[in-house]
Amino acid sequence: MKSVLFTLVLFIMTAMCANSQNQKVLVVYYSWGGNTRVVAEKIKAQLGADLVEIVPETAYPTDYSECVAQARKETKEGFKPAIKTKVENMNDYDVILIGTPNWCSTIAPPVATFLSENNFEGKKVALFVTHGGGGLSRCESDMRKLSENAKFLKSGVFSGSSVASSDDDIAKWLKEIDLKK
Ligand SMILES: Cc1cc2nc3c(=O)[nH]c(=O)nc-3n(C[C@H](O)[C@H](O)[C@H](O)COP(=O)(O)O)c2cc1C
């Protein structure tokens, strides 16, 4: 009886942690001010996914205006800065969730680098964006141009100013893309 109960508890715990189709999920994100990191960590917690931060070789200026000026120039030119982040075991994952702040209406350049350095063939890929009012803007369409081989799922869009209370919105999005029951 004891062992039946133990197996049952183990089964329930596993079911709670696993996503709905038992797919292995990697959450990758870049965050300058912390908002996208908060969302990435909440997704990790809800799915039991692995989490990797995209770190540029050269950090962006900590001063907001300087950062905006640099971002404006880089996004306009399609510049892809060098990044430290390499995911050696990409083949282990079925789904890649990629987080970016909305920078000048598109994905942040370090995320553009990550997308162009990796092959997502046969994988499901979804973007999650935090923004300051502009929503998704061109983030999804620009991502699609950089990772043609992937099967794209609906993007998650979260307001940067309310990431702390985004748990329910995140759960709703994860259900929509079939990663959560
Ligand atoms: C360089 C820069 C450019 C930005 N451009 C936009 C924009 O075009 N549209 C928008 O809605 N928010 C914009 N924002 C606001 C951020 O998208 C928002 O604060 C986001 O949640 C920041 O994420 P993070 O804290 O992970 O960096 C910009 C912020 C920065 C720093």
Tokens 């350095």 sit at which residue? 117
Ligand 1 and 106: CB distance under 6 A: no
Give the position, in ligand 1's atom list, of the atom nearest the Cα of 102: 17
Give the position, in ligand 1's atom list, of the atom nearest the Cα of 31: 26
Q: What is the pLDDT of residue 149?
A: 84
Name the stretches of the chain with pLDDT < 70: 1-21
Q: Tell me, yes or no, whether 64 lies in a domain.
A: yes
Total number of domains constituting the chain = 1
Q: Tell me, yes or no, whether 66 lies in a domain.
A: yes
Q: What is the pLDDT of residue 2?
A: 66
Q: How far is the CA of 147 from the centre of ligand 1 (A)?
A: 22
Buried b (16+ CB within 10 A) or exposed e, 63-80: eeeebeebbeebbeeeeb
Beta pairing, strands 106-107 & 124-131: unpaired
Q: How far is the CA of 140 from the centre of ligand 1 (A)?
A: 15
Give the position, in ligand 1's atom list, of the atom nearest the Cα of 100: 26
Rounding to the nearest 10 degrees, give the CA dihedral for residues 155, 161, 163, 164. -170
Ligand 1 and 171: CB distance under 6 A: no
Q: Tell me, yes or no, whether 90 lies in a domain.
A: yes
Q: How far is the CA of 172 from the centre of ligand 1 (A)?
A: 23
Q: What is the pLDDT of residue 30?
A: 98
Q: Tell me, yes or no, whether 135 lies in a domain.
A: yes
Residue whose CA is closest, atom 29 of ligand 1?
103
Q: Tell me, yes or no, whether 75 lies in a domain.
A: yes
Residue whose CA is closest, atom 9 of ligand 1?
134
Q: Tell me, yes or no, whether 14 lies in a domain.
A: no
CATH number at residue 57: 3.40.50.360
Tokens describing residue 68: 């905006």
Could you tell me the residue range of the domain that residue 105 belongs to? Answer: 19-176
Q: Tell me, yes or no, whether 150 lies in a domain.
A: yes
Give the position, in ligand 1's atom list, of the atom nearest the Cα of 32: 27
Q: Tell me, yes or no, whether 154 lies in a domain.
A: yes
Give the position, in ligand 1's atom list, of the atom nearest the Cα of 64: 31
